[in-house]
Structure 1
Amino acid sequence: MRLETMVHQLREDILSGTLAPGSYLPSEDVLGEQFQLSKKSVRKGLEELVNEGLIVKKPKIGNMVLKPGEGSGRTSIRFCYYPEVDQEIDMAALLDMFERKHPHIQVKRMTMHTDHYADQAIEFMEEQMLDVVLLNFYDFKHFHETSRLQMLMEQPIDEAIYPFLNRAFTIEGRSYVKPFSFSPVILCYNRRHFQEAGLAEPDSSWTWSDFYRAAEVLSKNGEEHKRLGFFFYPYSNNRWPLWLLQHDFQLQRDEAGQFNFRSEPFTKSIHTLKELFTNEYTAPSLVFENSQDPERLFSEERTSMIVTTYFRLNQLKQASFEYDISPVPYVETPKTLLLNVGIGISSQSAHKEAAKLLVDFLTSREAQMFMRNQTLSIPSVKEAAQSERQNKQGEPKRYQMFREIMPSYRYYSDMNMKRSQLTAMVHHLKLYWAGLETASNAIASIEQALNQELE
C-alpha cells in the first residue's frame, strides 16, 4: 500500500507539473524515509515510472522527470466493453479524453459480442490479456455464480454514486465493480399518434388492461398504411423476465428439493406473454430476430409504443416526431427491471494503477457530466444524473422520470433465479410462444433442464 502511494503521488506530481520536466526526483534514501519503504521497494516503484515514460534514470545523477508522452514507453491497458456502448454512452470520446489527460497510458479498446461476453472476458483475464472490463449486472452475476469473483479486484465504494447501484455489485461487504450507468426498462410512445387517436398519454397509473385498449386504438391495418400499436423484442433476458417479476414469481423447490414451475404466477406470466405475441394489435414478434428492431420500427413510425431503455433512446435522438416515456404498465404492483452497468479491474492485471486511473476517470464528475450532456443514458453519479442536459434535442420531456420510479426497480435475482437458469428457460419458452409446444410440456422441459443442474 505504501509503495502504491509513493508511485501514485509521484505520477500525479509529474502529470500536474508540480515536478517539472528536467527536474529530478528526491533521492532513493529520501523517498524511502518519506514513504517508509525499503530501498528495494523504492527502486521497484521508480522502475514502474520508467516503464510509463515519466522518468529516466541518469547514472550517478538521479531520476530525471520527462515531459508526459516524451518517454520511450507508454503503459498499455486493454479495456473490453459491449459494442453498443460506443453509441449509447459515446465511449470512444470518453477514452480519447482519458488519453489526453494521461498521455503515458494507452487504452487498447476491445469489443465482444453480448453472447457469451462474460465467458470470453474470463478467458481473456485468465490469459492476462484484459485489464479493465465493462460488466452489466447480468454478466457480473456470472462471475459470482461461477465462483470467479476473485478475478475482479476489490474497489472502494464511491459515495457520489447512487447507493442502490453500489449494492448490486457488492457481495458480503466487498465491492467488485464500480457502477457506470443504469436504466430501468420503460415504455416509449409516439405523442402524435396518441393525440391523433384522442387518447390520454400513458402515465404511472397504467395497467396492462389500459395498455391493450390503447394498442387496439393505435394500430392501423389499412391497405396503404399499416401500423402496430405496440412492439418489443421478447427474447432478451433484459425484457421478458419483466412479466415474471410483475406476476410476483419466485423460484422455489418442492418438498423433494426439485424446482417446480407449475405455480400460478409462472403460468400466468408465460400465458400473458403469449397473448402479447399473438395479439393482432401488437407485434408479430416471431418475424423479427434483432434486438434493435423495436427502436428502428418506432423511428419509422411503424409502431406507436415500444418497451425500451434509456440506453436505447440514443437511437431516437434524431427522430422526426415528438416522443415521450412512461413507466411500464403493471399487473398488481408497479415493478420494472433495472439494468446496471459497471467497470471492473482484473486482479491479474499487470497495470493495476493505470487501470484504476481509467475507472476513476470514467466515474468522475467530468466524464459523467459528459455522458449526461452528450447522450440520453443515465450516469451513475447522482449529481450528473439529476442535472439538466445542456442540449435538449431528442430528449423526452419526462427524462427525469427514472427518479420517480426508483422504488419499482428490481433485478432478475430478486426472483431467486440465477443467470444460467434464465438462459436455460428461453429455448423451451420460445417453442411455447411459437405454438410449437403446449404450456404443460414447456414447463416440464424447463423443470427437467433446471433439475438436471442439481444432480
Structure 2
Amino acid sequence: MGSKPSRTTFRVRLEAMVNQLREQIISGKLAAGTYLPSEEFLGEEFQLSKKSVRKGLEILVDENLIIKKPKIGNMVNDPKSESGKISIRFCSYADTEPETNVGKLLDAFEKKYPHVAVKRVTLRVMDYHEKLTEFMDDNMLDVIMINYNNFRLYHTRNALHLLTEQTVDERVYPFLNRAFTVDGKLYAKPFVFSPVILCYNKKHFKEANLPEPDSSWTWNDFCHAVSKLTDTSPSHKRLGFYFHLLSQNRWPLFLLQNGFSLQKDEQGRYHLNDHTFMKSMVMIKELFSQQEIIPAFMSQSDIDTERLFLEEKASMIVTTYFSLNNIKSVPFDYDISPVPFIHHPETLLLNIGLAINSHSAQKEAAQLLVDFLTSDEAQDAVRRETLSIPSIKEAAAKEWPEKTEPSRFQMFREIIPSYRYYTDMNVETHHLDAMVHYLKLYWSNIDNASNVISNIEQELNKNI
C-alpha cells in the first residue's frame, strides 16, 4: 500500500487545481456557459480525492467563478457582470483573511453600495506579482491589494502605468504614503501595516527567572535569554527562539542593523567585500547554531514559526502584527517587544496598500471600494476585529477594552522612528532573491562563506 500524501503535498495539489481553473476562467480560456471537466477527471489530473476536488470547487463557487448545476456539472459563470449591478473584481493575497477581515469588509461595502457587486480573487504570495500583472493586462481585475515588495516590482519593471494615481489622505501615517509614492504621485492607498517585532511566552520567562524583553535589548541580551530558555532534555525539547529564516521580511533585518548598503564600484559592478554583509550572515548562523538546529529545514513559511510558538516549542519568535492574528487564541500569556538591536534600534516595516487597475472599465466603482476600505468605518473595523494596524492614525490609536490583545499592542507608535524598508539599503526584491539562494547553503553548512559571497556577486552582476 502506498504512503499517504503529506498535508503539504495535498495543499500544493489543491492550490494548483484551483489556481489553474481560476486563471483559465478569468482569462477566458474557459468561456462563460461552458462546463468544467468532471470531478473524476480533475481528481485524476491533480491526484486528489473526489472530496478534495469538491473542496477546491467550492472556493471557485464562493468567488462566483462557477455555478454548481445539480446532476449536470460545474458551469463557468460570467466573471464580468451580474444582472442589474456594476461588477468589479478585487484581488487579494490568499492568507490575508485573518490579518484584515477583508471578507466582512467587502460584505459591508456591498451592503452600503448595493448597486456594486464585488467578485473576490485570491492569489498566493509566491506568484502574486506575475499573475496580478497578467490579469491586469487582460483587464480582468479592477482593485488589487498590493504590498510594498510587489509595489517595488512594479516600480523597478516600469509598470506603474498599470496603477491609477490616488489622492493622498492626510489622516494616514505619512511614512506609509511615501512608500507608495513615486515622483510625487501616490499609486496605492495604504491599508494596513506592521513592523517586524519580537513575540514571547511570558510563562517561559517567569519559569527561567528572566526579565521580559524591552526596548533596551541588544542581540547579546537576546542570546543570553535564549541560553536560559532553550531546553535540550529529550522529553521536553524547546527552542529559545525561532523565525522563518528565508522570509524576505526576516533575515534582511540583520543586514539593516549591521549598516549594510548595496553599492556599485567605479565599473558599475556589485561587490560584497564590505564586512557588514559577512558579519550579518555569520551572525544569523551563530544565532541558530546556539540551539544546534539547521534553520533552512525547519520551516516552509512563517506559519510554521507561529505553530512552534502555539505549541510552546519556541519561547520567542521574530514576527509581525499581521502574524499575531494567527496566535491570538493561545492558551497562555504572551506579549510583544521591539526586536533587539546592534548599534541603534531599527526594524523592517511591512506595508499593504490598495490600488486600481488603470485599464479598469469600472473605475468609479473601483474607487468607491478603495475609499471605503480606507474609510474611518473600515479602518475602525480592522482595529477592532484584528491585531493588524490600520493605516489611519486615529483608528490605529484607538483602544478597545473588551478586546484581547498583547498588553503592549500600542508599542508600534513608540518605535516609529526605527521603521525602515529594505530599499533603505539600496536593495530591491530581485537582489534579495539572488542573495538568499546562496545564503541558505551557508546557513545549512553546505557551502563556505567565501564561495557564497563570490556566487552572490556573480549572480548580482549577471545582467550588468
TM-score (norm 1): 0.83
Residue 294 of structure 1 and its aligned partner are, at CA, apart by 1.1
CA distance in 2, matches of 1:282, 1:331: 23
1:278-293 pair list within 5 angstroms: 278-280=289-291, 284-293=295-304
Residue 333 of structure 1 and its aligned partner are, at CA, apart by 1.2
Residue 83 of structure 1 and its aligned partner are, at CA, apart by 1.1
Is the contact made by 1:228 and 1:283 (CA closer than 8 Å) also made in structure 2? Answer: no
Is the contact made by 1:276 and 1:283 (CA closer than 8 Å) also made in structure 2? Answer: no
Q: Find the counterpart in structure 1 of residue 267 from structure 2.
A: 256
Which one of 419, 433, 439 corresponds to residue 423 of structure 1? 433
Q: Find the counterpart in structure 2 of residue 404 from structure 1.
A: 414
1:433 equivalent to 2:443? Answer yes
Q: Find the counterpart in structure 2 of residue 121 from structure 1.
A: 132
* Cα deviations by residue, 1:71-90 (Å, 9 ceiling, x for unpaired): 95211111111111111111
- Give secondary structure in 1 for the equivalent of 2:246: coil
1:315 equivalent to 2:322? Answer no
CA 1:389/1:453 → structure 2, altered by over 3 Å: closer, same or farther? Answer: farther
Which one of 344, 359, 366 corresponds to residue 333 of structure 1? 344
- Give secondary structure in 2 for the equivalent of 1:224: coil
1:388 equivalent to 2:402? Answer no
1:77 equivalent to 2:51? Answer no
Which one of 210, 235, 259 corresponds to residue 224 of structure 1? 235
Residue 279 of structure 1 and its aligned partner are, at CA, apart by 2.0
Residue 262 of structure 1 and its aligned partner are, at CA, apart by 1.2
CA distance in 2, matches of 1:283, 1:200: 28
Q: Which amino acid aligns with 1:150?
A: H
1:175 equivalent to 2:186? Answer yes
CA distance in 2, matches of 1:321, 1:150: 49
1:361 equivalent to 2:361? Answer no
Q: Judge which range, 335-344 or 425-434, deviates more.
A: 425-434
- Give secondary structure in 2 for the equivalent of 1:319: coil
- Give secondary structure in 2 for the equivalent of 1:337: strand
CA distance in 2, matches of 1:417, 1:217: 36
Q: Find the counterpart in structure 1 of residue 61 from structure 2.
A: none
1:130-279 pair list within 5 angstroms: 130-279=141-290
CA distance in 2, matches of 1:90, 1:292: 18
Q: Judge which range, 353-362 or 213-222, deviates more.
A: 213-222
Is the contact made by 2:294 and 2:444 (CA closer than 8 Å) also made in structure 1? Answer: no
CA 1:193/1:283 → structure 2, altered by over 3 Å: closer, same or farther? Answer: farther
Which one of 75, 97, 114 corresponds to residue 108 of structure 2? 97
Is the contact made by 1:335 and 1:409 (CA closer than 8 Å) also made in structure 2? Answer: yes
CA distance in 2, matches of 1:163, 1:320: 37
Consecutive unaligned residues in structure 1, runs of 5 or more: 1-70
Q: Find the counterpart in structure 2 of residue 44 from structure 1.
A: none
Q: Find the counterpart in structure 2 of residue 344 from structure 1.
A: 355
CA distance in 2, matches of 1:112, 1:102: 25
Residue 278 of structure 1 and its aligned partner are, at CA, apart by 2.0
Q: Find the counterpart in structure 1 of residue 79 from structure 2.
A: none
Is the contact made by 1:186 and 1:327 (CA closer than 8 Å) also made in structure 2? Answer: yes
* Cα deviations by residue, 1:286-320 (Å, 9 ceiling, x for unpaired): 23223211111111111100000000001111111
Q: Find the counterpart in structure 2 of residue 26 from structure 1.
A: none
1:444 equivalent to 2:458? Answer no
Q: Find the counterpart in structure 2 of residue 8 from structure 1.
A: none
CA distance in 2, matches of 1:422, 1:290: 16
- Give secondary structure in 1 for the equivalent of 2:129: helix
Q: Which amino acid aligns with 1:189?
A: Y
Residue 159 of structure 1 and its aligned partner are, at CA, apart by 0.7
Residue 256 of structure 1 and its aligned partner are, at CA, apart by 2.1
Which one of 88, 104, 112 corresponds to residue 99 of structure 2? 88
1:34-113 pair list within 5 angstroms: 72-113=83-124
Consecutive unaligned residues in structure 2, runs of 5 or more: 1-81
CA distance in 1, matches of 2:191, 2:301: 26
CA distance in 1, matches of 2:433, 2:255: 14
Residue 277 of structure 1 and its aligned partner are, at CA, apart by 2.6
CA distance in 2, matches of 1:134, 1:283: 34
CA 1:350/1:140 → structure 2, altered by over 3 Å: closer, same or farther? Answer: same
CA 1:390/1:84 → structure 2, altered by over 3 Å: closer, same or farther? Answer: farther
Is the contact made by 1:219 and 1:281 (CA closer than 8 Å) also made in structure 2? Answer: no
Residue 224 of structure 1 and its aligned partner are, at CA, apart by 1.7
CA distance in 2, matches of 1:147, 1:369: 35
CA distance in 2, matches of 1:238, 1:290: 11
CA distance in 1, matches of 2:294, 2:345: 23
Number of equivalences: 383
Q: Find the counterpart in structure 2 of residue 299 from structure 1.
A: 310
CA distance in 1, matches of 2:182, 2:298: 41
